[in-house]
Structure 1
Amino acid sequence: MISIGIDVSKRKSTVAIINVMGEILQTPFDIEHSKHGLEKLWDLIKDYPKDQVKFIMEATGIYHLGLLNELQKQGYFVHVANPLLIKKYFDAEIRKGKTDRKDALKLSRYGTEKWWLLQEHSTTDQVYLDLQFLSREYNSFLTAKIKLKVQLSNLIERTFPGLEKILKGHYWALLLDFYELYPCASLVREMSEKKFSTKFIKLAAKKGHRKGAQIAQSIYQLAHECVTFEPNNQVAALSVKHCVTLLRSTEEATIDIITQMNELAKELPEYEVVKKMKGVGDKLAPRLIAEIGDVRRFKDSKSLIAYAGIDAPPYQSGQFEGTNRHISKRGSKSLRKCGYEVMMALKSSKPKEDNAVYEYMLKKEAEGKNKKLVKIAGLNKFLRMYYARVMEVYQN
């Protein structure tokens, strides 16, 4: 039986091979993440039965995924270790040092010591993989969208302060169109009120807004009253144009991604059940499923809560037992973020019918807990219910 430790890097990895007796069969060597590099590895282990070979690697964001996929295609056992767990394991050594070669050997030794305890990395269903990939892309575009909104807000504050207060909420698309045409308040001041109102009413009508005349009057008055710091009109127009273009592009991307995620999620048996849960809508349902994945991989609801990183591990020593504990945050940051959004949606919707999660949050608020703690407590209960309902779907 041999343990193969792989220290994964970008486009290359360092590999070490030892047997369960601790004997080094192959000193650490590098392989490229290519067909040639993998053929080098296959040649070294081709004489060993596949059921006697175990690969151990750390989860390294995205760099390990390609290699993991190739190893599983060949039918090998692969254990993907939690980096924090491996770090704690390495910390047991008195004399410390870090190189790729040493890390590969340490992973190999970890494999021999934990040989019978290692769990094989499950080959997740392709739908879950696709959903998770799209969810991460959605989060990236969402981050870019937020930054662009801040940038646009700063531009408005300099060239047309107060415009956002008039064109807010469902007037967002109208705001982008208008500000792209009139990036400076001076451009409105140069026009007569009648001429401006006529043009604005036509612009508003294209977006389906009927109060164009009232809004035009407010904007025209604002243009004459606001104090601005305006650059050259051409400079302002260039900045606004590109900011608005990028905003429209990111919005279109997020809409397309969510649409595709919903189409994929509909193939899963838990989709309708998750959508019916309060606080979860068309946008949050596929994201939530994507971040949790196949719920059957968790042995119970506590495991799912731990995966989200909102568990509070016990702390006890001698006669002391800690009661004021914090959540671990040693889990999926993306799931915590998505779950927190669900709690915010649930809190703002204020469901009239009985809802266990909402009532639980109200109870915590009545106890004097702060808003963030209330939402985390609600998410804890929500995930327990999620686990129970989805498992019921798979068991029936």
Structure 2
Amino acid sequence: MISVGIDVSKGKSTVCIMKPGGEVLSAPFEITHTKSELLDLINIIKSQNEEVRVVMEDTGHYHLPVATLLVDNDIFVCSVNALRMKKYCSQSIRRAKTDKIDSVHIASYGIAYWNELQPIPCSDDIYKELQLLARQYYQSVALLVKAKVNFSNLLDRVMPNIQSIITDNSSNSKLTDFVARYWHFSRILEMGEKRFISDYCKWAKKKGYRMCERNAKEIFASAQNGIPVLPSSQSTKIVITEAVRVIHELESSRDTILAQMQSFAKTLPEYSVVREMPCIGDVLAPRIIAEIGDVRRFKNKHSLIAYAGIDAPPYQSGSFNATERHISKRGNSYLRKTGYEIMQSLIKHKPENDSVYDFIVKKRCEGKCAKEVMIAGLNKFLRVYYGKVTELYDNLEYCNLTA
């Protein structure tokens, strides 16, 4: 057996080829992530007369071009968790670290854990695209939150208290549209009360907002009593209008990504099953499917729970046996976030005859704190999810066999 250790960096990698007993067949050498040099590496691997397994560290996305080309050429590739590889490489007493040394350690890891190496799973393209879209969705949401915080700070300096007068729980479009039109209290005062009320009512009617003359009077009174900090200048106008434009652009981007996620998710068999689960709508359904992926890749429900990072590994030494353990948090943080939102939805809507919500109520009655209740509920939800979706695929496989 031959282990090929690849220490992946951005745009280049260091390769070491090793046999059992620490025999180095090829001293560490560098290759760039170009098709020509990777094909040369593939030829070297295929020229070996023994079974060859390639081992590399999971680096997020830097290793993907290398892994993809190797897998496409029918080469066994194993991607090892970065934390596990770090602990293995740090066993040496001397803390020397170079790319060449790391490649030797990675190749050595392949020899030491030869029978435990698992090839990179080949997941469905739909799941890959769903996860890609989900990552961009979270990125858009994070940027949108920052943009709204910045917008709120600016409003406190040009239109104090306006956010308490114009509110919209579903979106910020009502407030942003208003600010884009008037942008400063001094502009409202310059128009005068009668002209502002008339202009405001026409604008609201044109936009389709449920606003009346009473709202306009309240806004004008707030303009009279408010103390803007920023001047009514061209610079202030540019800053405010740009803040509004950024929010609209990010909201549009978020909605476009979510619509594509829904389109992909609806083609999967489990979508209907997930949508039938209480308190999971058109937004949460594609997100939870994107984070879990193909549930058949998990050998059991405990593997899915561990993947989410909400498992509590046992800790025992001698006569001591820990009974209260924190969750590991070594898993998919996006899955935990989405699951937390599902738990919030269940607690808010209180669905009847739902096993997950009943379990949450049970844990509350036992005196568990809010955090423990949420984690216990998510644990139960993932077990239910695993059971329903695996049953669906088992039935589909049975129908295909009997057809």
Question: What secondary structure does 2:223 align onto?
Answer: helix
Question: What secondary structure does 1:326 align onto?
Answer: coil
Q: Deviations over 1:11-54 (max 9, x none)?
A: 111111112343101111111111122133123223126x8111
Query: 1: distance between equivalents of 2:13 and 2:379?
Result: 38
Cross-structure match for 1:59 = 58
Query: 1: distance between equivalents of 2:2 and 2:171?
Result: 64
Query: 2: distance between equivalents of 1:207 and 1:385?
Result: 45
Cross-structure match for 2:345 = 345
Could you tell me how far 1:370 is from its partner in structure 2? 2.7
Cross-structure match for 1:270 = 270
| 1:15 equivalenced with 2:15 (yes/no) | yes
Cross-structure match for 2:231 = 231
Cross-structure match for 1:379 = 378
What is the Cα-based RMSD across aligned positions, in Å? Answer: 1.5
Could you tell me how far 1:324 is from its partner in structure 2? 2.3
Query: 2: distance between equivalents of 1:372 and 1:217?
Result: 45
Counterpart of 2:5, as a letter, is: G
Cross-structure match for 1:132 = 131
Could you tell me how far 1:76 is from its partner in structure 2? 0.7
How many residue pairs match? The answer is 394
Query: 2: distance between equivalents of 1:279 and 1:345?
Result: 6
Cross-structure match for 2:72 = 73
Q: Deviations over 1:328-375 (max 9, x none)?
A: 000111111111111112222222x21121122222233333322221
Higher mean C-alpha displacement, 194-203 vs 379-388 = 194-203
Question: What secondary structure does 1:121 align onto?
Answer: coil
Q: Deviations over 1:119-140 (max 9, x none)?
A: 1111111000000000001111
Q: Deviations over 1:81-125 (max 9, x none)?
A: 011111222233222321111111111111111112211111111
| 1:24 equivalenced with 2:14 (yes/no) | no
Runs of 4+ deviating beyond 4 Å? none
User: Is the Cα–Cα contact under 8 Å of residues 8 and 57 in structure 1 kept in the other structure?
Assistant: yes
| 1:184 equivalenced with 2:184 (yes/no) | yes
Query: 2: distance between equivalents of 1:170 and 1:56?
Result: 49
Question: What secondary structure does 1:57 align onto?
Answer: strand
Cross-structure match for 2:283 = 283
Could you tell me how far 1:186 is from its partner in structure 2? 1.4
User: Is the Cα–Cα contact under 8 Å of residues 31 and 37 in structure 2 kept in the other structure?
Assistant: yes
Query: 1: distance between equivalents of 2:354 and 2:223?
Result: 48
Higher mean C-alpha displacement, 363-372 vs 17-26 = 363-372
Q: Which runs of 5+ in 2 are unaligned?
A: 396-403
Cross-structure match for 1:316 = 316
Please give the TM-score of this superposition, normalised by the length of structure 1: 0.96
Within 5 Å, which residues of 2 pair with 1:1-396?
1-48=1-48, 52-168=51-167, 169-170=169-170, 172-351=172-351, 353-396=352-395
Structure 1 pair 203/350, CA: closer, same or farther in 2 (3 Å)?
A: farther
Query: 2: distance between equivalents of 1:105 and 1:298?
Result: 31
Structure 1 pair 268/17, CA: closer, same or farther in 2 (3 Å)?
A: same
Higher mean C-alpha displacement, 367-376 vs 264-273 = 367-376
Query: 1: distance between equivalents of 2:203 and 2:31?
Result: 60
Query: 2: distance between equivalents of 1:366 and 1:161?
Result: 44
Could you tell me how far 1:180 is from its partner in structure 2? 1.2
Cross-structure match for 2:399 = none
Question: What secondary structure does 1:231 align onto?
Answer: coil
Query: 1: distance between equivalents of 2:206 and 2:113?
Result: 66
Higher mean C-alpha displacement, 274-283 vs 200-209 = 200-209
Question: What secondary structure does 1:151 align onto?
Answer: helix
Query: 2: distance between equivalents of 1:134 and 1:215?
Result: 40
Query: 2: distance between equivalents of 1:324 and 1:138?
Result: 36
Query: 1: distance between equivalents of 2:174 and 2:5?
Result: 57
Could you tell me how far 1:240 is from its partner in structure 2? 1.0
Query: 1: distance between equivalents of 2:177 and 2:47?
Result: 67
Structure 1 pair 139/93, CA: closer, same or farther in 2 (3 Å)?
A: same
Query: 2: distance between equivalents of 1:389 and 1:15?
Result: 44
Counterpart of 1:275, as a letter, is: R
Query: 1: distance between equivalents of 2:323 and 2:335?
Result: 26
Query: 1: distance between equivalents of 2:276 and 2:260?
Result: 19
Question: What secondary structure does 1:24 align onto?
Answer: strand
User: Is the Cα–Cα contact under 8 Å of residues 31 and 40 in structure 1 kept in the other structure?
Assistant: no
Higher mean C-alpha displacement, 209-218 vs 310-319 = 209-218
User: Is the Cα–Cα contact under 8 Å of residues 205 and 212 in structure 1 kept in the other structure?
Assistant: no
User: Is the Cα–Cα contact under 8 Å of residues 184 and 233 in structure 1 kept in the other structure?
Assistant: no
Query: 2: distance between equivalents of 1:387 and 1:333?
Result: 18
